[in-house]
Amino acid sequence: MEPYITMTAHYLTATWEMKAKVLRTCLMPKRHANANIAQRLTDTIREWGLVVFCVIHNNASSMNLAMTLCEDFSNDLGCTGHTLQLAIKAGLDLPEVAKAIDAARQVVKSHLIQLLRDGEADQPAATGGAFDDAPTDIDEDNNNGEEPGKKKTRLESDYEELFGPHYASKKVKRRHLPRGGTRISPDDPHPHDEQPSGVVGTQ
């Protein structure tokens, strides 16, 4: 896969509507990445004749260093979403936090195992046997592109998260779901925050 960079301009119209336009998408040589990023960004800004008050970029070291080489504009900000992601990851990596999360995972794991055992008295005690020949509730009108019979229940999604993808191919009886529970797919799209509004953004 070839590396590339995209530059977009974000601005407000006279009626205060937010607009964004792609200025350029181009390949990026792997060598001297900092200087190449700075050069392409500077060339693009000059070509379009833009007045830039801020550049929004991710927090990669190459992007941060490239900003120090750009003479035409001095104001830049790291992407808010990326900054938050890095902060959360650093927090989750703390030993005391990791220990608390692991303890919570074990509590949930034990609870779900007990649910299956209570409802499958005629099945082997091991949780792997609790899924084998249980019928599946299918919602064929909203299957998210999956083949019929493959839609996951909420409990299946929980088990896949806790025990790994092995359980994704198994089936869970409807009565094991919490009362009022609804079927969901882990592949359902989630809304993403829009890129922060600066005059120029880079990807």
CA distances for 171 relative to 13, 158, 187, angstroms: 53, 12, 17
Higher pLDDT, 71 or 46: 46
Higher pLDDT, 49 or 172: 49
Find, among 186, 149, 161, 156, the residue nearest to 173 by Cα: 156
Token pair, residue 8, equals: 């977009």
Q: What is d(CA 138, CA 152) in angstroms, rounded to the nearest whole number?
A: 9
pLDDT at position 13: 92
Q: What is d(CA 108, CA 34) in angstroms, rounded to the nearest whole number?
A: 46
Residue type, 128: G
pLDDT at position 139: 42
- SS3 state of residue 188: coil
Over 90: is that where the pLDDT of 15 sits? yes
Summarize pLDDT for 111-157 with one digit per residue, the tens. 888 888 876 534 444 444 444 444 444 344 444 444 444 445 444 55
